[in-house]
Amino acid sequence: MPPAHPFDFDAVTDGDKLHEECGVFGVIGPPDAANFVALGLHALQHRGQEAGGIVAHDPEQGFNSARRFGYVRDNFTKASLMETLPGPVAIGHVRYSTAGKKGAAIRDVQPFFGEFSMGGAAIAHNGNITNADELRRELIDRGSIFQSSSDSECIIHLMARSLQRDIPARMEDALRRVEGAFSIVAMTRTKLIGVRDPLGVRPLVLGQLGDFWVLSSETCALDIIGAKFLREIEPGEMVVITADGVESRRPFRPRPPRFCIFEHVYFSRPDSIIGGRSVYETRRQIGVELAREVPVDADLVCPVPDSGTPAAIGYAHESGIPYGMGIIRNQYMGRTFIEPTEQIRNMGVRLKLNVNRALIEGKRVILVDDSVVRGTTSRKIKDMILDAGAAEVHFRIASPPTAWPCFYGVDTPERSKLLAASMSEDEMRDYLGVDSLRFISLDGLYRAVGEAAGRKPDCPQYCDACFSGEYPVEPRDMIAKGFELKAAQ
């Protein structure tokens, strides 16, 4: 069973962050590939904290797998476990999931494994299949037995029913039936396979370590094992890697790519490289843009730790206002106090953050945060800052108002819970009770990620559905459940 109260920022903040739902990693070559996968998943832990899994194949011992709730470092670090995962091919997955979601079960933890007539295969999927409900119904009607509640399991059943003779070909068959966002790392007894959907919504990169090949959601996980970053898997590309090298295929009809712009804003680690750009530098540049677009006279630029830090550094630099750590984070958080007394429960965000009162007192403070989702945390932080004696509080947000849910592998509250879905910027300011609240513009954000001319309205360079409501892939299952698209304008 999952931890009762997973506690990273969300537990004290009522889920007031968007969350990447998965990270994937795979290695072919080293005799103990699973150890490398464990390290890679550790570096990708920010993409999924709830659970992790590894599948490895050894010529003598066949396929072995281990799936666990909790952090990679707490599970996949025990020699007794890692010894059960020998062999030169291994893939892994980390996963996030809403704490309260009914039925969270170890059988939902990837990678998923299937035995076919030509041998076994395992897949790890980052993203979300937008026609999964439909596919699931069809597969069950035809006699497939599902083991999990995960949308990703459809892929392995589609592969099982393909008439193709080899596994990569079955995977192509299967993925052509699938809609939505997918960056997949898969394996057979002898092959490591990577695929990105035609839009390339979620990231996937290729690395090399001596004779070994690596696939990873982000480059920061190449760094941890000392692998060299070669290139991104391209949108719509499938790579099939064996001892003989990397073969590239193009199973899908080409389309203009729509990478997720929120990976730049928040999801990816600042030390990763995306689209040839340092994530840290992009975020710092967002701060610079923010300082230009919505300046304000103040005494201190203070990040909301830790995600607001690079933008705050950029804002301070551009504005000339001193940068300071007005909020200190307790580095020993992780899991919250379980079933505390009422009195202690009310202490809330203090468990994780403390105000640096001596720095804040009497000052006009600019708080730089990455996003506003429900606004609940922003209010608590504002209260702490004012309690500590700040003269003014100005929020500057490193992304446009988040007004639409994501259906491509990000955990978002339903639309009605998003503050920006029903309030204007001024209404939000009043709701939060701050002296000012300003967001970067969508064009400003595009400039910060390197699109000097801003967003092309007729053909946006990124998926920005969470800000714009323009969904590059129709969220078919959600529409069937009653979700209403933005009215055409």
Residues 321-360 that bind its own copies (CB under 8 A): 322-325, 328, 330-341, 343-344, 347, 350-351, 354-359
Task: Name the 3-class secondary structure at 118.
Answer: coil
Nearer to its own copies, 80 or 416 (CB): 80
CB of 428 to its own copies, least distance (A): 28
Strand order across the beta sheet in which 436-439 lies: 300-303, 364-369, 392-397, 436-439
Nearer to its own copies, 24 or 273 (CB): 273
Among positions 59, 74, 247, 389, the unique one binding its own copies when judged by CB under 8 A: 74
Considering only CA atoms, give the Rg of the chain.
Answer: 23
Q: What is the dihedral of CA 189, 190, 192, 198, to 10 degrees?
A: -90
Of residues 224 through 283, those in contact with its own copies by CB under 8 A are 224-226, 269-271, 273, 277-278, 280-281
Nearer to its own copies, 245 or 320 (CB): 320
CB of 372 to its own copies, least distance (A): 22
Question: Would you state the structure tokens that stand for residue 166, as one six-digit string?
Answer: 């080899």
CB of 344 to its own copies, least distance (A): 5
Q: Which of 22, 154, 220, 302 is catalytic?
A: 22
Q: How many residues form the binding site for its own copies (CB under 8 A)?
A: 85
Closest CA to 435 of 372, 392, 371: 392
State the angle between helix axes of 309-319 and 279-293 in degrees (0 to 180), rounded to the nearest 10: 50
Q: Which residues are annotated as a binding site for [4Fe-4S] cluster?
A: 260, 406, 463, 466
Of residues 459 through 478, those in contact with its own copies by CB under 8 A are none
327 vs 254: CA distance, rounded Å: 47
Q: What is the dihedral of CA 303, 304, 310, 312, to 10 degrees?
A: -30
Q: Which residues are annotated as a binding site for Mg(2+)?
A: 307, 369-370
Of residues 21 through 50, those in contact with its own copies by CB under 8 A are 30, 32, 35-36, 38-39, 42-43, 45-46, 49
Q: Which residues are annotated as a binding site?
A: 260, 307, 369-370, 406, 463, 466
**Tokens 């106090």, residue located:** 337
338 vs 402: CA distance, rounded Å: 31
**CA-to-CA separations, 309 to 2, 305, 321, 359, 371, in angstroms, rounded:** 31, 6, 15, 17, 12
Q: Assess contact for 178 and 18: CB atoms under 8 A.
A: no
Nearer to its own copies, 70 or 454 (CB): 70
Closest CA to 37 of 79, 72, 2: 72
Q: Which stretch binds its own copies (CB under 8 A): 189-197, 307-315, 371-379, 392-400?
A: 307-315
Binding of residue 100 to its own copies (CB under 8 A): no
Residues of the chain by 3-state class (helix, strand, coil), percent to 5: 30, 25, 45
CB of 9 to its own copies, least distance (A): 10
Closest CA to 260 of 19, 20, 463, 47: 463
Residues 115-154 vs its own copies: string with x where CB under 8 A? xxx-------------------x--xxxxxxxx-------
Nearer to its own copies, 270 or 469 (CB): 270
Residues 365-404 vs its own copies: string with x where CB under 8 A? ----------------------------------------
Question: Would you state the structure tokens that stand for residue 184, as one six-digit string?
Answer: 């997949």
Of residues 157 through 176, those in contact with its own copies by CB under 8 A are 157, 160-161
Nearer to its own copies, 72 or 418 (CB): 72
Nearer to its own copies, 120 or 469 (CB): 120
Question: Would you state the structure tokens that stand for residue 16, as one six-digit string?
Answer: 């007031």
**CA-to-CA separations, 33 to 26, 55, 232, 489, in angstroms, rounded:** 8, 10, 21, 52
Q: Which stretch binds its own copies (CB under 8 A): 112-120, 188-196, 440-448, 465-473?
A: 112-120
Of residues 415 through 454, those in contact with its own copies by CB under 8 A are none
Q: Assess contact for 396 and 438: CB atoms under 8 A.
A: yes
Specify which residues 69 forms β-bridges with. Answer: 51
Q: Assess contact for 1 and 69: CB atoms under 8 A.
A: yes
CB of 280 to its own copies, least distance (A): 5
Nearer to its own copies, 174 or 418 (CB): 174
CB of 448 to its own copies, least distance (A): 15
106 vs 410: CA distance, rounded Å: 20
453 vs 292: CA distance, rounded Å: 16
- Establish whether 302 is a catalytic residue: no
CB of 365 to its own copies, least distance (A): 14
Closest CA to 354 of 19, 5, 12: 12
CB of 106 to its own copies, least distance (A): 9
Q: Which residues are catalytic?
A: 22
